[in-house]
Amino acid sequence: MTDGFQPGVGNPGKSNLRPFYQKESFIKSPFKLISNLITYKYLVRNLVNRDLNQKYNNALLGYVWTLLEPALLASVYYVLFIIIAKHSEPNYPMWVLIGVIGWGMFSRILNGTVNSLTTNSGMIQQSNIPMEVYSFSLAATQLVITALSMLVVVPFMVYLEIAPTVNLWMLPISILSLMITAWGFGLIFASLNVMFPDVAHLFRFITKAGFFVSPVMWTYEMLIDKAGSESIYFDIAMLNPVVVPLTCMRHSIEGTIPSFELIHVIYAGIFPIISYIIGSIVFTKYSRGVVTRL
C-alpha cells in the first residue's frame, strides 16, 4: 500500500496534526460546552429563529398562541380545582397560570433535551457541529416563548390590583434556574436515550407525574398548611427541584418574599449547577460515541 507520508520523509516537522477529539480532563467539560456554544452562537440564533418561525408561522393567530395556550390550560385546571377543592382564593387563577407556564417550560426542555440526539439524527449524521447546540437552542427557544407567555399575567395583575415591585428580580432568576436544571438534567440522559429509547418513555412519564407533585395546581403555602413543615411528606416534596423556583416565580409577581428554610434555598441554588456540571461531563464523554447508533 502506498502512503504519501512517511515519518522522516518530506516535512514531518511542519506537521500540526491533532486528533479530532482530544482526550481532556472531565473537569473541562462544563467550560467546553459553554465555549462551543459561544463559537456557534450564530447557529443557535438561527435555529431559535427557525423553531419560533416553525411554531407560529402558519397559525392564524401567530404569536397570540404563546399567550392563549397557557391561559386556556390554566382556566381548565382552575375550573377543575374549583370543582374538586372548592377553593376560592382570588389570586388562585394567577398562581395556576404562572405554575402552568413555568412547569410547561421545564417539562418541554427536559423531554426535548433527552430526545435531542434522536430528533436531530439527520443533521448530526451529516455535520460535525457540537451536539449540545441542538438541545441548547431548544432550551433557548422555550425561554423566549416563556418570556412572551409571562405577558399574559399582566391583565391578572391589573385585575387583582397588584403593582410590580423590586421583587420581580426573582422572576428571571427562577426561570433561568428552571431552564438550566431541565437542560443539564436532560443532558445526562440524552446519550443513553440513543442506546435505549426506553429512557424517553420514562421521562415522558416522569414529567406527566411531576406535574402533580410540583406546585402547579397547589402552592408551597398550601403544602405547609396541609402537610405541616414537620412531616416527612413535606421533606419528600421539597426534594423536587422545581418547588422553590416555581414558588419564587409566584412571589416575584405578587411582590412578596417566600418563607423558605435556608436548606431548601441552598438546595434550589445548587441543584441547577450540579445538574449542569454532571450533564456536561456525561454528554461530552458519551454523545459522540453514540452517533453510529442513531
Partner 1 sequence: MNTPVLKLEQVVLDYPKKEAIVGFFKRTLRKILGGKSIAPHFRALNQIDLTINKGEVIGIIGRNGSSKSTLLKTMAGIYSPTEGKVKMDGDISLLSGVGLGMNKNLSGRENIHLYGSILGHSRATMDSLTGEIIQFSELHEFIDEPFRTYSSGMKARLGISVATAVKPDILLIDEVLGVGDPGFKKRSQERIRRMMDDSNTVVIVSHSFGLLKEICDRMIMMEKGSIKIIGTPDDVIAKYHEIEG
Name the residues that contact partner 1, by CB under 8 A.
1-5, 9-11, 14-21, 40, 42-43, 45-47, 49-50, 53-54, 57-58, 122-129, 195-196, 198, 288-289, 291-293
How far apart are CB 185 and partner 1 at their closest, in Å? 21
How far apart are CB 293 and partner 1 at their closest, in Å? 5
How far apart are CB 291 and partner 1 at their closest, in Å? 6
Q: How is residue 28 annotated by DSSP?
A: G
How far apart are CB 2 and partner 1 at their closest, in Å? 6
d(Cα 201, Cα 64) in Å, to the nearest integer?
31
d(Cα 235, Cα 233) in Å, to the nearest integer?
5
Nearer to partner 1, 177 or 193 (CB): 193
d(Cα 242, Cα 272) in Å, to the nearest integer?
10
Q: What angle do CA 47, 51, 52 make, to 5 degrees?
A: 115
Cα dihedral 66, 67, 73, 75 in deg (nearest 10):
180
How far apart are CB 25 and partner 1 at their closest, in Å? 18
Cα separation values, 205 from 74, 75, 118, 280, Å: 21, 24, 18, 24
Nearer to partner 1, 5 or 233 (CB): 5
Q: Reduce the secondary structure of 50-115 to three states and give it as a string.
A: HHHHHHHCCCCCCCHHHHHHHHHHHHHHHHHHHHHHCCCCCCHHHHHHHHHHHHHHHHHHHHHHHC
How far apart are CB 105 and partner 1 at their closest, in Å? 23
DSSP-assigned states of every residue in 164-228:
P-GGGGHHHHHHHHHHHHHHHHHHHHHHHHHH-THHHHHHHHHHHHHHHHSTTSS-HHHHHHHH-
For residue 153, which of 70, 61, 248, 255 has the smallest C-alpha distance?
70
Nearer to partner 1, 264 or 288 (CB): 288
Q: Are 239 and 210 spatial neighbours (Cβ–Cβ below 8 Å)?
A: no
- Dig out the grid coordinates for 15 from the structure: 506537521
Nearer to partner 1, 182 or 290 (CB): 290
Nearer to partner 1, 143 or 199 (CB): 199
Nearer to partner 1, 75 or 118 (CB): 118
Nearer to partner 1, 19 or 90 (CB): 19
Nearer to partner 1, 55 or 264 (CB): 55
How far apart are CB 83 and partner 1 at their closest, in Å? 41
Look at phi and psi of residue 261 and say left if phi exceeds 0, alpha if psi is from -120 to 50, else beta. Answer: beta
How far apart are CB 48 and partner 1 at their closest, in Å? 11
